């Protein structure tokens, strides 16, 4: 619509009206669409910024620290108070007792040996006799009175302490009944007549074979010979 107003040509659209020379325009729907679009874009931008940088818009705090980085760049804070302080620390006493493992005791080993037979105590020999020589020879070897008593009983049984005693069945000879008698020649050439030579040889035989006169006496008692 075209009109004349105060010497001017006016061009009035269908959406406009003229009242008392004033032109009124009706609001356009296009403005509402632009407002809605602007609001949507603003809201989307706010959400997008929050997702990309969650700390945006946050207020800085002087107490905020990253975990594990509390004392980086300086020494930890310390509180110093004037004065002297004493801390008394007590603890209970204790006793340490060592546990000692018991040492196993080995079982006694019973040695198998010939039964021991005791000999009756021999009398003190007369000086100058064969028994007197034997008494000194036994003592010289470190044996006691019991060994001398065993020797006296042993050779009393074998020869009666006679230098020339001879066994008719075996041929054993002398005080110790050496078999044959010539074995006593290792102790001396006078083995057939000297009692001292026979006694020295007999004590050597007893020691090597049975360990002592009492050992030989036990063997003789158990088997009848030594």
pLDDT score recorded for residue 1: 46
Give pLDDT, residue 116. 74
User: Does residue 93 sit within a domain?
Assistant: no
Using 50 as the pLDDT threshold, list the residues of the chain that sit under it.
Answer: 1-10, 12, 14-20, 22-24, 110-114
pLDDT at res. 47? 60
- For residue range 116-139, what is the model confidence (pLDDT) as tens digits? 788 999 999 999 999 999 999 999
Position 146 in a domain: yes
For the chain, the domain total comes to: 2
Answer yes or no: is 40 within a domain.
Answer: yes
Rg (CA), the chain: 69
Q: What pLDDT, on the 0 to 100 scale, is given for residue 6?
A: 47
Residue 117, in any domain of the structure: no
User: Pick from 14, 30, 50: which residue ends a domain?
Assistant: 50
Q: Which domain holds residue 45?
A: 2-50
- Assigned domain for 179 exists: yes
Q: Has residue 28 been placed in a domain?
A: yes
In the prediction, which pLDDT does 111 show?
43
In a domain? residue 139? yes
């Amino acid at each position: 619509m075209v009109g004349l107003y105060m010497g001017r040509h006016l061009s009035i659209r269908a959406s406009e009206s003229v009242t008392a020379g004033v032109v009124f325009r009706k609001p356009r729907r296009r403005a509402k669409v632009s407002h809605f679009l602007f609001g949507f874009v603003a809201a989307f931008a706010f959400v997008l910024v929050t997702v990309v940088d969650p700390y945006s818009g946050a207020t800085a705090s002087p107490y905020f620290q990253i975990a594990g980085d509390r004392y980086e760049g300086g020494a930890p804070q310390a509180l110093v108070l004037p004065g002297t302080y004493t801390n008394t620390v007590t603890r209970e006493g204790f006793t340490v007792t060592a546990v000692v493992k018991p040492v196993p005791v080995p079982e006694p080993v019973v040695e198998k040996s010939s039964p021991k037979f005791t000999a009756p105590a021999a009398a003190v020999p007369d000086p100058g006799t064969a028994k007197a020589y034997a008494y000194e020879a036994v003592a010289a070897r470190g044996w006691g009175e019991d060994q001398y008593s065993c020797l006296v009983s042993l050779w009393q049984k074998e020869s009666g302490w006679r230098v020339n005693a001879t066994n008719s069945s075996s041929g054993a000879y002398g005080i110790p009944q050496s078999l044959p008698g010539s074995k006593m020649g290792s102790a001396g050439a006078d083995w057939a007549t000297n009692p001292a030579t026979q006694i020295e040889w007999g004590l050597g035989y007893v020691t090597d074979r049975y360990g002592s006169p009492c050992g030989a006496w036990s063997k003789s008692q158990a088997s009848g010979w030594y």
